[in-house]
Structure 1
């Protein structure tokens, strides 16, 4: 069965092409047609009314959604709820994120993601282990009593088969560089975060295969005039990617803009660091036995410590465009093309191009709200997902 999406304003992942129609076959883009071309016959035809059709959003840091935290529920059903909670906001690729926890919980999360991928759960592409090789000086909301070195047990979890795209966030100064190199050589996307390391620590980690930085500025050594720190190393390096949270709470707008302008184009990607509250009516959740509330979009412990976010990817794009003044096309690339490259999946997602997976989002260009998403060519109305 094929499907024709006609009469869309197409942003193909790199540029806006104007009115186009997109043919989907077997879950992939089969063709793109201009307004003056004859359109092929299709089993299903959808008229998109001139709305903006863009590549689906790719979120590499999703701790929870749809009322579920991965730390609290390690199951395919739980992952399905997380995916649905974020899909209504345009996310079509989600990397389920495990906050620092015990080895048993980490293994259970890996097993759940493995089972979800084997079952073909739409939208799930891998797992992000955020911890537990962290520096207590930059612990954030993570439990320092669970921090541990990068030992054989962790290596076995991190490099297990069948996990899709794998991200490991660690503090490089807490890890032997030979072990970090071993992770990188195994295909793991190693990212620096929750680190009190120096510029020199990061230089050594980069030489060993460090690929990214987790939520730039947050939970890392700041940049000063004489000590560039982790932030300085991240912004100075031209080959790595930085995740950035644009919710108005994690960063000042000017600080966020400085980071975006410092990195080469293509190396700054939007992330949500989302908690269970995204896509859920209940704006409370539990982590480590503590109740955390999202108030006005801000997730925090009672002492004010930020605990992830209540941000969704459409909101991140909207904030990047409207709050920071970044052109909409670039904000969309930061939500799709650039994270696809970080994950080494930019040969199949992040663009609307023949041969690519039919993962797309339909956006009202005036309100910048999601109207519909497609994952592997299967469409869902955002309004129905919100019901």
Structure 2
């Protein structure tokens, strides 16, 4: 089956104007005005008039096996289902471990990733978790990156957080150096995803690594950077030093009341401060716990990260905060694909993977989702679900 999407305004993420896009199998094979095919070939032809055609969203932080547990075993959050990603327009996810690396394990992470990919998503993973020394599968970071195809980086390693291992900058330098070498030798990103907590030290450890070692800032990829405007200001400095930073789309009223900046507004703030729009990303933190601790460190509430949050914050950035459509779309497509070194993702071009969204031009609501050439949502209804999901 060939799929021909006609008459949509293509955002690649840069605007290509109104074009037709032809998909064969899982690949974009042609882009142009008024495409036609001769012969007796069956074609699924879709009218994209009134819609934007964009790349599928690329999520760099997803707790696909669930997370949490900060309030005891009954607060371990549930694993992600395929339809959770589809509803949010997410076609590529990055599976990670977080606070819990005892009951949550790397073998389970890889098994869940393989299952989601068999169902239709694209899934990569990071080795390790919050904790230092890094727990690996094959014995070292370098071996995990070189010998386990699905591992593309390390993390999310926690700094400035009471739940982390309180690492020294020298330990972070060693982690970064080993990940860098593993990435170079395997042709992968080798990035170190860094969970930044609410501690006052913020990114100080990462700046110390850059100052005292040969490991560059660009080796590290700090997330949850919208915890405060103080941290956002550090993020401007980090981006100027050549790194990427990530904003968390999932939030709760309690977290926002404590000083976190809404993701969409944080993007506007960063751009107004002169940060490079090509080095800022959004992630969902999907299925992570979203705990709120009081000043004494006591857990007061806990909710779950949403896979729909990244699309919601992209939409709000454009429609409420006045961010340009291209800059906002880059943050959820091309930029995260660049961080992960996924060259076939995050853009629309001939020869790239057919991960596509049709968005209503007026509301930016998702009308259709295509993952690896297969329709996963049609007219707002999920049609691609996991093995054990209700149909």
What TM-score bracket applies, with the shorter chain setting the length? 0.7 to 0.9
TM-fit CA distance, 1:85: 0.6
- Structure 1 residues 187-231: Cα deviation after superposition (integer angstroms, max 9, x where no partner): 22113333645264242488425232112143998488xxxxx54
Q: Report the equivalent of 1:25.
A: 24
Unaligned 5+ runs, structure 1? 73-77, 134-147, 225-229, 277-286, 294-300
Unaligned 5+ runs, structure 2? 70-77, 160-166, 184-189, 293-297, 384-390
Q: 349, 355, 361: which is aligned to 2:351?
A: 355
Q: Report the equivalent of 1:51.
A: 51
TM-fit CA distance, 1:366: 1.3
Alignment size in residue pairs: 335
**Separation in 1, partners of 2:307, 2:32:** 38
The 3-state SS of whatever aligns with 1:69 is: coil
Q: Report the equivalent of 2:339.
A: 342
**Separation in 1, partners of 2:148, 2:128:** 18
TM-fit CA distance, 1:251: 0.9
Cα 1:204/1:220, change in 2 over 3 Å: farther
**Separation in 1, partners of 2:265, 2:247:** 13
Q: Would you say the 8 A contact 1:55–1:361 is kept in 2?
A: yes
When the two structures are superposed, what TM-score results if normalisation uses the length of structure 2? 0.73
TM-fit CA distance, 1:271: 1.3
Give 1:245-256 correspondences, 5 Å limit.
245-246=248-249, 249=256, 250-251=260-261, 255-256=266-267
**Separation in 2, partners of 1:204, 1:150:** 23
Question: Bigger CA drift: 304-313 or 375-384?
Answer: 304-313
TM-fit CA distance, 1:32: 1.1
TM-fit CA distance, 1:328: 1.5
Give 1:12-91 correspondences, 5 Å limit.
12-18=12-18, 20-35=19-34, 38=36, 42-64=42-64, 69=66, 81-91=80-90
Question: Bigger CA drift: 48-57 or 123-132?
Answer: 123-132
The 3-state SS of whatever aligns with 2:50 is: coil
TM-fit CA distance, 1:102: 2.6
TM-fit CA distance, 1:103: 4.7
Give 1:265-280 correspondences, 5 Å limit.
265-275=277-287
- Structure 1 residues 337-365: Cα deviation after superposition (integer angstroms, max 9, x where no partner): 111111111x3111111100010001011
Question: Bigger CA drift: 259-268 or 156-165?
Answer: 156-165
**Separation in 1, partners of 2:150, 2:212:** 24
- Structure 1 residues 68-127: Cα deviation after superposition (integer angstroms, max 9, x where no partner): 72679xxxxx87x5332121221111112322223562223333146337x644223212
